[in-house]
Chain A
Amino acid sequence: MSTLLKLDGSDGPDPFAAVGAEDELPASGPVVIPLARWERDRDALRARPSPFGIRLPNVVDVESLEASVLEAGLLVLEFPSFGDGRAYSQARLLRDSRGYRGELRATGAAVVRDQLQGMARCGIDRFELRADQSLELCREALREFSIAYQPARDALPKVRELRLAPNRT
Chain B
Amino acid sequence: MYRYDQYDQKLVDERVAQFRHQTERYLAGQLPEDEFRALRLRNGLYIQRFAPMLRISIPYGLLASRQLRMLAHVARTYDKGYGHFTTRQNMQFNWPELARVPDILADLATVQMHAIQTSGNCIRNITSDHLAGVARDELVDPRPYCELTRQWATFHPEFNWLPRKFKIAFSASRSDRAAIRVHDIGVQIVRNEAGELGYTVYVGGGLGRTPIIGVKTADFVAEVDLLSYLEAVLRVYNLLGRRDNIYKARIKILVKEVGPEKFIAMVDREWARIRDGELKLKGTELDRMREHFTTPDYAALPAVDPSYEEKLRSDSAFAAWARRNLHPHRQPGYAVVFVSLKANGVAPGDATAEQMDALADLADRHSFGEIRATHDQNLVLADVRLDEVYEVWQRLRELNLATPNIGLLTDLICCPGLDFCSLANASSISVAQDVFDRFENLDDQHDIGPIKVKMSGCMNGCGHHTVGHIGILGVDKKGEEWYQVTLGGSAENDASLGDRTGPSFSREDIGDAVQRIVEVYLERRNSEDETFLETYRRVGMSPFKTRLYPTTAAA
Contacts and interface: CB of A to CB of B under 8 A. Distances in A.
Contacts of A121: 157-158
Interface in A131-162: 144-152, 159-160, 162
Contacts of A97: 273
B161 A163 contact: no
Interface stretch (A11-19, A23-31, A79-87, A99-107): A79-87
Interface residues of A, number: 36
Nearest to A90: B239
B160 A114 contact: no
Nearest to B269: A63
Contact of B278 (A82, A147, A151): A151
B160 A118 contact: yes
A163 B7 contact: yes
Contacts, number: 95
Given A97-B273, A163-B7, A150 B239 contact: no
A159 B151 contact: yes
Interface of B: 5, 7-8, 10-11, 14-15, 18, 22, 31, 34-35, 38-39, 121, 151-152, 154-162, 235, 238-239, 243, 273-274, 277-279, 282, 284-285, 288
Contacts of B15: 145
B7 A159 contact: yes
Nearest to B282: A164
B285 A163 contact: yes
A145 B161 contact: no
A114 B151 contact: no
A163 to B, nearest CB: 7
Contacts of B157: 88, 117-119, 121-122, 148, 150, 152
Given A118-B160, A122-B158, A147 B284 contact: no
B238 A149 contact: no
B158 A145 contact: no
21 contacts: A82-B38, A82-B161, A85-B158, A85-B161, A85-B162, A86-B239, A88-B160, A90-B239, A114-B31, A117-B157, A122-B157, A145-B18, A146-B10, A148-B157, A149-B155, A151-B277, A151-B279, A152-B157, A162-B7, A163-B285, A164-B282
A-B pairs with the 3 shortest C-beta distances? Answer: A85-B161, A121-B157, A151-B278
B215 to A, nearest CB: 22
B152 A150 contact: yes
Contacts of B288: 163
Contact of B18 (A82, A119, A144, A164): A144
Contact of B155 (A89, A122, A148, A164): A148
Contact of A145 (B152, B155, B243): B155
Nearest to B284: A164
A114 B35 contact: yes
Contacts of A110: 161
Select the residue from B22, B152, B235, B278 with max chain A CB neighbours within 10 A.
Answer: B278
Contacts of A82: 34-35, 38, 161
A147 B11 CA distance: 7
Contacts of B154: 149
A148 B278 CA distance: 14
A82 B38 CA distance: 8
Contacts of A146: 10, 14
A118 B161 CA distance: 10
A162 B5 CA distance: 11
Contacts of A55: none
